[in-house]
Structure formats: structure tokens, C-alpha cells
Amino acid sequence: MKNLFFYDQKIEIPSTKEIDPLSSAAPEQEYKIVKSSFNVNKIILTVGISETECLVVLDDFHQEEREIPIAVKNGKTLKTKMVKGMYQSNITITGEDYIRFMKLTNIEG
């Protein structure tokens, strides 16, 4: 399909290590890079974050269930709850993908 833009997406890998509740150090997060795409005809907004990064908002409202942390009195998060809501896709494009995206979507007058 000629209306798809392919880019590298950084995905968080869920940790399999147990978290020590007595430790103040945050666990080290692991990531992997996967090839993703979106339909350029669904773009409703782009926001420049820096010279090599932008946020793309798509017209794809969808229902999603997300895990929301619940704070307790001492400020620590001990549990979470699942909440349903309507969301749009927000995609961050960086580096070489940003340059290709700007060339693809640039309208010259």
C-alpha cells in the first residue's frame, strides 16, 4: 500500500525480574526496535518536538483498556486498576524516520 509510512518503533519489554519493595533503585528497563507503519491519510495533527523529532496524531479513535496506578497515603503505588476509555494513536517519529517523514509530507508552494 502506497499510503503507509514505515518507521522504527521502540517497544518496552516487560520485565520478568521481581521488584524489591525495599530498594529505592528503579529497575532497568529493556527495549526492542520493531518495524511499524501507519496510514498517512489518517494524520490529523503533527507537532514538532525538536529538530529531529515530531509527534503524529491519527484520526483513529478506539476503545482501549489501560492499567492506571492507584496512589496510597505514603505516595507509593501499590496497586493498579484497569480503566476503559476512548483514545487516539500518538506516534513519535525520530532520527532518520523523521527526515523521511518530513520529505514525504512537505507541501511546497
Q: What is the pLDDT of residue 9?
A: 94
Q: What is the pLDDT of residue 2?
A: 84
Q: Is 33 left (phi over 0), alpha (psi -120 to 50) or beta?
A: beta
Please state the three-class secondary structure of the chain as a single string.
Answer: CCCEEEEEEEEEECCCCCCCCCCCCCCCCEEEEEEEEEEHHHEEEEEEEECCEEEEEECCCEEEEEEEEEECCCCCEEEEEEEEEEECCEEEEEHHHHHHHHHHHCCCC
pLDDT in tens, 7-63: 999 998 877 766 666 666 666 788 999 999 999 999 999 999 999 999 999 999 989
Domain ranges of the chain: 40-105
Q: Does residue 109 surpass a pLDDT of 60?
A: no
Residue 70: band (very low, low, confident or very high) from pLDDT cuts 50, 70, 90: confident
Q: Does residue 94 surpass a pLDDT of 90?
A: yes
Q: What is the pLDDT of residue 89?
A: 92
Mean pLDDT calculated for residue range 63-85: 82
Q: Does residue 95 surpass a pLDDT of 70?
A: yes
Q: What is the pLDDT of residue 15?
A: 73
Q: What is the pLDDT of residue 38?
A: 95
**Side-chain-facing half-sphere of 69: CA atoms under 13 Å:** 6
